[in-house]
Structure 1
Amino acid sequence: MSKTKEYIHKLPISFKNIRLIRLNLPQKEQFVSGIGVRNSREALIVEWTDANDVKGYGECSCRPDPYYSAEFIDGAIALVNQFIVPFLKAEQSFGDLLKLLDKIRGWNFSKAAVEMAALQVIEKNTGHSPFELLENTPLQKVPVGISLGLYTDLNHIKKVVKNALETGYRRLKFKISPNVQTDFFEDINPLLFKADTYVGFDANGSFGDADFEVFNYFANSYQTMIEQPFAPARFDLLLKAKQENPSVFICYDEEIKSLGDVIKLHHLGVLDEVNLKVGRVGGVMKSIEIIQYCAKHNIPCWIGGMFETGIGRILNLRMASYLPNARAHDLSPSDRYFLEDIIAPNVEMENGFVCMESVKNCQVQLNLLEKYTIEQKTIASTC
């Protein structure tokens, strides 16, 4: 453990209570992916209050169902209630908190939310954070892309693509599945090839052994990133894809839950790119370890999103600012998805970039937090 990391672990954090806040934010429009259909964003917010009533907020960005990962919101609430809060002390170090979280196997989104909330309190009180472990100077402007859902209407997808290109996104990432209408892409190709915008695809693990005809269409026609084409742990299908299409460029998402997963895929020779989601790997400290490994081994890495509210979005942008070589991150502005976000000022984009200075002083708006709360519970310290 380096001296700097040791210092971060020793930072103090007191604990008074945690409030678990379940939100439901209306979306501007329906979003369809290989996982399913969503009309609103249901999220769990962790509010950590210390002995001096300083508050920090973390977002548990798992879904309400176990269809992206095994984790889901009701389970996350139970986990924090039963296996985290009862073991928190009135006074502890950040390292003590990490040991408590590391003892729990899995449930990375839940652990990340608690860690994030605690880190906000620590940074407010001490001015220090784990981001000090990252050596490069953070970007002032972060390039961002847009994730586009599955569409069943050609005119609609053309309209969406034109709007995204005119808005200036640095990357367009299309959701795909074995049932996607490939002829739609033949129609929109003229729009894509004329634009100075990187194009990628994301299958959310929806392709199986019987779906290689559609997979090969995207692999051969575009020579670009295909994100998580197969279900996690279907290494046999990854090998088959690489054998049939040696140049196929696969980005991993659901497959990566830890640094160990990155190292394994790298050593097996199938790791082309990493979509790093802070919540999915267990939080800020775990993300920093992965970023450092990818930098050391020249593995492309960018920050993905889970349609977070502004709370999670700001943290993701901050992490993204330390990745200077990434083409773009899945971190659209607040008004891309929600009728109303719960922070102010909103995350805004200009010409495909988010200015980090503009989000430096974003604050949670308690009136909006309460407006969209559908369930809440406060759990006090017992120590």
Structure 2
Amino acid sequence: MTQKEDILQLPISFKNIRLIRLNLPQKEQFVSGIGVRNSREALIIEWEDIHGVKGYGECSCRPDPYYSDEFIEGAIALVDQFIVPFLVTNQTFGDLLKLLDKIRGWNFTKAAVEMAALQVIEKNTGKSPFELLQNKPLDHVPVGISLGLYTELDRMKKVVKNALETGYKRLKFKISPNVRIDFFEEINPMLFAADTYVSFDANGSFGENDLEIFNYFANTYQSMIEQPFAPNRFDVLLKAKKENPDVYICYDEEIKSIGDLMKLHHLGLLDEVNLKVGRVGGVMKSIEIIQYCAEHNIPCWIGGMFETGIGRTLNLRMASYLPNARAHDLSPSDRYFLEDIVQPNIEMNNGMVAMQSLQNCEIQSNLIDKYTIDQKTLEATC
């Protein structure tokens, strides 16, 4: 079995990094507790080594600091000022991780740099950190769909009906203190009649005065509620657990590191984990969390940040090593985008993505050029 030390010693040379800012139009508007989005603005990091081999990583942060304290302009500045100036022509993967670990926070940005470097390493050596995982990867990965907040009942019914007919393995509804409970009362017959797992995601929007609405979802569905409270309102979490001890909470924004995971686990508050590769700092950090969850029988699945095909394929690859997950928030490309930047599109059949199909997905430079709104190349300085 491959050892971590072997992975850390893999060589990675550096010529330049190209920062590519894209804006991909969505098929439809998406509304959550964070806000309204009509397109996916993304930062792609292209790492080129001294032999011209290129790798790509996607920074999954938003253009604004409303989901996390990272945002695209800040990510660009971080790479420019605190990463590229300290890269050398030749180093090991372990050297790169030490450089990234020195930077506090900015996990999405560091994960994108790591991802781009790992693509180059894998192309050159055939080796990757995924070899550290003991599970045999799945051939087909179950995926779910994330449904936004709705202001029109007919529209909500139509979307739910379509999602059920499409075969998604899970329907996850965005909720907030302002959600229309009467809408859910209307669609409940559809949900309860279907053999599909239903869960909810509040994006930290509930406060101590919203527990009545929170308890409606916890008690009516007896299902997972993801990140109901802001990560910094541990007091509200404890109050909700005291009022409703059986409530089943999945953590998302709360977990940015293995330390956050272990803290919640030892406090007896950890029911389930939505692992976002970018949010925890990349592939190596994610593998550490997956291994801890497996050792302690903690349900874990992979969440997404509406990534393009670059980030989506990596997320699906990570998801393939979680055989017990009900579903992952990794819908196919055509669920969100008018046009993705990988071809062929990532496709789903009856709620499953065939991993074999991802081997043919390739980045299309013409589509990157089409949707690029800004770019910057940073050369090696030493």
TM-score (norm 1): 0.99
Corresponding residue of 1:280: 279
Corresponding residue of 1:60: 59
Aligned positions of 1:76-115 closer than 5 A: 76-115=75-114
Corresponding residue of 1:224: 223
Does 1:157 pair with 2:119?
no
Does 1:256 pair with 2:238?
no
Corresponding residue of 1:291: 290
Q: Deviations over 1:142-183 (max 9, x none)?
A: 000000000000000000000000000000000000000001
Alignment-mate amino acid for residue 141 of structure 2: V
Q: What is the number of residues matched between the two proteins? A: 382
Aligned positions of 1:30-49 closer than 5 A: 30-49=29-48
Q: Within 2, Cα distance between the matches of 1:33 and 1:136?
A: 34
Q: Within 2, Cα distance between the matches of 1:353 and 1:195?
A: 17
Q: Deviations over 1:7-54 (max 9, x none)?
A: 000000000000000000000000000000000000000000000000
Q: Within 2, Cα distance between the matches of 1:119 and 1:260?
A: 24
SS in 1 for 2:188: helix
Q: Deviations over 1:234-274 (max 9, x none)?
A: 11111111111111000000000000000000001100000
Q: Within 2, Cα distance between the matches of 1:248 and 1:216?
A: 8
**Alpha carbons of structure 1 residues 3 and 166: separation in structure 2 relative to 1, 3 Å:** closer
Contact kept, 8 Å, 2:42 with 2:60, in 1: the verdict is: yes
Q: Within 1, Cα distance between the matches of 2:2 and 2:71?
A: 37
Q: Deviations over 1:110-148 (max 9, x none)?
A: 000000000000000000000000011000000000000
Corresponding residue of 2:175: 176
Does 1:12 pair with 2:11?
yes
SS in 1 for 2:161: helix
Alignment-mate amino acid for residue 121 of structure 1: V
Q: Within 1, Cα distance between the matches of 2:135 and 2:62?
A: 33
Alignment-mate amino acid for residue 161 of structure 2: K
Corresponding residue of 1:380: 379
SS in 2 for 1:210: helix
Corresponding residue of 1:347: 346
Contact kept, 8 Å, 2:84 with 2:380, in 1: the verdict is: yes
Contact kept, 8 Å, 2:142 with 2:352, in 1: the verdict is: yes
Contact kept, 8 Å, 2:2 with 2:132, in 1: the verdict is: no
Aligned positions of 1:310-321 closer than 5 A: 310-321=309-320
Q: Within 1, Cα distance between the matches of 2:234 and 2:264?
A: 10
Q: Within 2, Cα distance between the matches of 1:90 and 1:347?
A: 35
Aligned positions of 1:16-31 closer than 5 A: 16-31=15-30
Q: Within 2, Cα distance between the matches of 1:233 and 1:276?
A: 19
Q: Within 2, Cα distance between the matches of 1:3 and 1:162?
A: 46
1:233 deviates by 2.2
SS in 1 for 2:331: coil
1:361 deviates by 2.5
Q: Within 1, Cα distance between the matches of 2:209 and 2:244?
A: 16
Q: Within 2, Cα distance between the matches of 1:64 and 1:203?
A: 20
Q: Within 2, Cα distance between the matches of 1:218 and 1:376?
A: 44
Q: Within 1, Cα distance between the matches of 2:149 and 2:2?
A: 48
Unaligned ranges ≥5, structure 1: none
1:3 deviates by 6.6
Q: Indicate the RMSD between aligned Cα atoms, in angstroms.
A: 0.7
Alignment-mate amino acid for residue 8 of structure 2: H
Q: Within 1, Cα distance between the matches of 2:216 and 2:192?
A: 17
Does 1:237 pair with 2:241?
no
Contact kept, 8 Å, 2:30 with 2:38, in 1: the verdict is: yes
Contact kept, 8 Å, 2:61 with 2:71, in 1: the verdict is: yes
SS in 2 for 1:247: coil
**Alpha carbons of structure 1 residues 3 and 343: separation in structure 2 relative to 1, 3 Å:** closer
1:77 deviates by 0.2
Q: Deviations over 1:291-338 (max 9, x none)?
A: 000000000000000000000000000000000000000000000000
Q: Within 2, Cα distance between the matches of 1:245 and 1:301?
A: 23
Q: Within 1, Cα distance between the matches of 2:134 and 2:174?
A: 34
Corresponding residue of 2:358: 359
Aligned positions of 1:323-342 closer than 5 A: 323-342=322-341
Q: Within 2, Cα distance between the matches of 1:241 and 1:267?
A: 18
Q: Within 2, Cα distance between the matches of 1:69 and 1:246?
A: 28
Q: Within 1, Cα distance between the matches of 2:191 and 2:76?
A: 43
Q: Within 2, Cα distance between the matches of 1:302 and 1:44?
A: 24
SS in 2 for 1:305: coil
Contact kept, 8 Å, 2:176 with 2:205, in 1: the verdict is: yes
Q: Within 2, Cα distance between the matches of 1:228 and 1:135?
A: 29
User: Between the two proteins, what is the percent identity of the paired residues?
Assistant: 82
TM-score (norm 2): 0.99
Q: Within 2, Cα distance between the matches of 1:268 and 1:61?
A: 30
